[in-house]
């Protein structure tokens, strides 16, 4: 027992000294903490990866948690930057917000689904449970497996505002808690319909045109495709110089180019 305990202690000391040492190493590094929307997170991680390649002294800690949690974290000063995929509400207006880009919300189907075009009204009816069967939209006699995001999500908030327009999302609609999991459901279930960030659309799912407009960066810029929301960085007061350097990088042509490559709508062409 004593021997084993001793062994355990040695492991512990090693572990702790390791963490201690590496902590020393991080002391002369500049840490930027970011948390919030799971929609914005993957793109922030991408940007951070690129940024840290050129700036080895920086450590950027990116966390999910959701738009609301991110904004809360900024308010409590637990993180420097909060990510939000919805506009700030009145209670949060005292915070600074920086729009880093815009994002289209794409309505997606399984690639095998022959339907290519839907109207905003049809989508609203599907989520309101007025249209329940694919037959009503000209396909086979099979129940529509619609998927939505959970209550409190920024993407859902934007979807409710831009698509549902006051109509309620029905209780019989399935709920998933991230863009990725909605995409997985739609990618595996031929009868599913969901909505995800345009930047995450790939060959696993098929985006539909809405009232004739394909969700593309061009159509968003010209205003033809209307389901669009901003991606915000939220801060409490002024950022320190290091965090500002990162934000400046995102707003620069280089940063915006990365976002554009990911399918988001940046500020340059």
Q: Is 162 in the site for another protein (CB under 8 A)?
A: no
Q: How far apart are the first and last CA of the chain?
A: 68
Contact predicate 96/235, CB 8 Å: yes
DSSP letters for 20-50: HHHHHHHHTSEEEEEEE-TTTHHHHHHHHHH
Residue 65 sits in the site that holds another protein (CB under 8 A): yes
Binder to another protein among 119, 140, 177, 248 (CB under 8 A)? Answer: 177
Q: Which listed residue (158, 187, 258, 259) binds another protein by CB under 8 A?
A: 187
Spatial CA neighbour of 104 closest among 178, 2, 213: 213
Does 216 sit near another protein (CB under 8 A)?
A: no
Which stretch in 100-108, 119-127, 179-187, 232-240 sits in contact with another protein by CB under 8 A?
179-187
Q: Determine if 57 is a binding residue for another protein (CB under 8 A).
A: no
Region of 6-14, 94-102, 212-220, 242-250 interacting with another protein (CB under 8 A):
6-14
- Assign 193 to helix, strand or coil: strand
Q: How many CA within 13 A on the CB side of residue 223?
A: 0
Task: Name the one range near another protein by CB under 8 A: 104-112, 143-151, 210-218, 221-229.
Answer: 143-151
Q: Could you say which of 30, 50, 55, 59 contacts another protein (CB under 8 A)?
A: 59
Shortest CB 247 distance to another protein, Å: 20
The reply to whether 50 sits near another protein by the rule CB under 8 A is: no
Q: Which residue's CB is nearer to another protein, number 94 or number 117? A: 94
Cβ neighbours of residue 149 under 8 Å, at least 6 residues apart?
Answer: 155, 156, 159, 175, 176, 177, 178, 179, 182, 195
Indicate left, alpha or beta for 11 from its phi (over 0: left) and psi (-120 to 50: alpha). Answer: alpha
d(CA 231, CA 233): 7
Binding site for another protein (CB under 8 A): 1-2, 4, 8, 11-12, 15, 19, 22-23, 25-26, 42, 45-46, 49, 59, 61-69, 71-72, 76, 78, 143, 145, 150-153, 168, 170-181, 183-185, 187-189, 191-192, 204
């Amino acid at each position: 027992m004593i021997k084993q305990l001793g062994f355990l202690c040695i492991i512990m000391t090693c572990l702790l000294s390791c963490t201690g040492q590496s902590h020393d190493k991080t002391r002369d590094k500049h840490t930027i903490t970011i948390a919030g929307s799971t929609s914005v997170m993957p793109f922030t991680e991408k940007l951070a990866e690129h940024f840290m390649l050129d700036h080895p002294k920086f450590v950027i800690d990116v966390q999910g948690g959701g738009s609301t949690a991110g904004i809360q974290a900024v308010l409590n000063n637990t993180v420097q930057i909060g990510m939000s995929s919805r506009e700030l509400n009145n209670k949060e207006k005292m915070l600074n917000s920086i729009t880093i880009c815009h994002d289209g919300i794409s309505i997606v189907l399984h690639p095998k689904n022959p339907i290519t075009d839907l109207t905003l009204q049809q989508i609203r009816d599907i989520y309101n449970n007025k249209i329940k069967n694919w037959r009503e939209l000209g396909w086979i006699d099979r129940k529509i497996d619609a998927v939505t995001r959970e209550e409190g999500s920024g993407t859902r908030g934007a979807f409710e505002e831009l698509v549902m327009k006051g109509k309620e999302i029905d209780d019989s609609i399935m709920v998933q808690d991230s863009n990725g999991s909605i995409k997985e459901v739609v990618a595996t279930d031929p009868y599913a319909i969901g909505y995800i960030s345009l930047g995450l659309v790939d060959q696993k799912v098929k985006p539909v045109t809405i009232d004739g407009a394909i969700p593309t960066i061009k159509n968003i810029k010209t205003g033809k495709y209307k389901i669009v929301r901003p991606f915000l960085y939220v801060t409490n007061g002024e950022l320190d110089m290091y965090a500002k350097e990162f934000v400046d990088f995102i707003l620069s042509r280089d940063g915006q180019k990365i976002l554009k490559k990911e399918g988001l709508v940046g500020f340059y062409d």
